Structure 1
Amino acid sequence: MPEATSVGTDWRLLGCAYVQFFVTCDKPNQRLLERHPFDLSTSMGRLAFTVTEEVYFPSVFGVGIDSSYRAVDSLRRLDPNFGAAWVHRARYRRQGLGLTVRHISRSRQVAADIARMLCSSWAHVHDDHRGSARVCDIVPVMLCDLRSALCHSSEESTDP
């Protein structure tokens, strides 16, 4: 994995690849990424934090990164679902910063959380609360959109 450890790599892209392999059950590639548990843990935390703030919160709860602190805090106290998601967001942030290195099983759980958040976001945007769409159909398409947005973002790349 010399490409991933080079300077200037956006580590969230590594997380996107892992979620893609996790959802499509591509075991050989998934195991290849699991060889570096610290890098995987950090990239999964960064991706989960990004998905939470930029995809899940705006589409499911109507709270964006430009929302006021009072609105977010009020929603956090009044809506137990948002409060639980906020706690997970903090956990993802610590993991993305490398403060809490997680085992591979935790990275797999975070990949499942990301897939769930992407599916919930898709269902809220498309008013499909019956669950007629399958995870293996929705998540790869949303990950492709997310990867293209990350590749074209104007922010500096992140190093672990």
Structure 2
Amino acid sequence: MPEALSVGTDWRLLGCAYVKFLATRDELNQLLLERNPFDLSVSMGRLAFAVTEEVFFPRVFGVDTCCSYRAVDTLRRHDPAFGAAWVQRSRYRRQGLGLGLTLRPVRRSRHVAADVARMLCFSWAHEHRPDGPSALACDIIPTMLTDLCTMLRHLGGHPTDP
């Protein structure tokens, strides 16, 4: 754990681990990450923002991160689901930047982790369009998180500090 919390760590990857622990009900590892509640809250905000930008918006709404502001604003005004997701994205960004004080950071982190899991499941369902309940969420989420972690590593960029 101390190595994971050192400077130069990509905190979004810690968020991925936390979501995976919640989805698979690995309570021991979940509690280990909850030891630093404010850092966990920031890492979950950063992960949720990345999932929104890189997975949820492109797959569900067809909005790429390089899309023009006018197209995004038009979609935000005309599609209530996209507007609500856009507001959530803003909250995740503030949480990821560590702006504002979270009174219950562990509770907030668990809520955001559940949001991330829902976004991943909804993105998967939107892309694959299953006829019935073909897979359980706890089977889909770890696979999608592994793919997401691989994508985050390849995106490059600078590691984030809390």
- TM-score surpassing 0.5? yes
Partner residue, 2:18:
18
| TM-score of the aligned structures, taking structure 2 as reference length | 0.94
Alpha-carbon separation, structure 2, partners of 1:100 and 1:37: 14
Query: Given that residues 12 and 44 in structure 1 are in contact (C-alpha distance below 8 angstroms), is that contact kept between their aligned partners in structure 2?
Result: yes
Percent identical residues: 68
| TM-score of the aligned structures, taking structure 1 as reference length | 0.95
Q: What SS does structure 1 have at the residue aligned with 2:67? A: coil
Partner residue, 2:68:
68
Specify the code of the residue in structure 1 equivalent to 2:37.
P
Following superposition of structure 1 onto structure 2, how do residues 7-156 of structure 1 map, counting pairs within 5 Å?
7-102=7-102, 103-128=105-130, 130-156=132-158
Range that drifts further, 123-132 or 7-16: 123-132
Alpha-carbon separation, structure 2, partners of 1:121 and 1:100: 29
Tell me the CA shift for residue 155 of structure 1. Answer: 1.1
Tell me the CA shift for residue 6 of structure 1. Answer: 1.4
Alpha-carbon separation, structure 2, partners of 1:110 and 1:116: 10
Specify the code of the residue in structure 1 equivalent to 2:64.
G
Tell me the CA shift for residue 35 of structure 1. Answer: 0.8
Tell me the CA shift for residue 148 of structure 1. Answer: 1.3
Range that drifts further, 123-132 or 46-55: 123-132
Query: Given that residues 77 and 83 in structure 1 are in contact (C-alpha distance below 8 angstroms), is that contact kept between their aligned partners in structure 2?
Result: yes
Query: Given that residues 42 and 101 in structure 1 are in contact (C-alpha distance below 8 angstroms), is that contact kept between their aligned partners in structure 2?
Result: no
Tell me the CA shift for residue 78 of structure 1. Answer: 0.6
Q: What SS does structure 1 have at the residue aligned with 2:41? A: helix
Tell me the CA shift for residue 89 of structure 1. Answer: 0.2
Mark the runs of 5 or more structure 2 residues left unpaired by the alignment.
none
Mark the runs of 5 or more structure 1 residues left unpaired by the alignment.
none
Query: Given that residues 8 and 158 in structure 1 are in contact (C-alpha distance below 8 angstroms), is that contact kept between their aligned partners in structure 2?
Result: yes
Alpha-carbon separation, structure 2, partners of 1:101 and 1:14: 20
Seen in structure 2, the aligned counterparts of structure 1 residues 90 and 150 have a Cα distance that, compared at 3 Å, is same
Q: Deviation per CA, 1:42-89: give whole Å up to 9, x if none.
A: 000000000001100000000010111111001101111001100100
Q: How many residues of Structure 1 are paired with residues of Structure 2 in the alignment?
A: 160
Seen in structure 2, the aligned counterparts of structure 1 residues 39 and 118 have a Cα distance that, compared at 3 Å, is same
Alpha-carbon separation, structure 1, partners of 2:131 and 2:112: 23
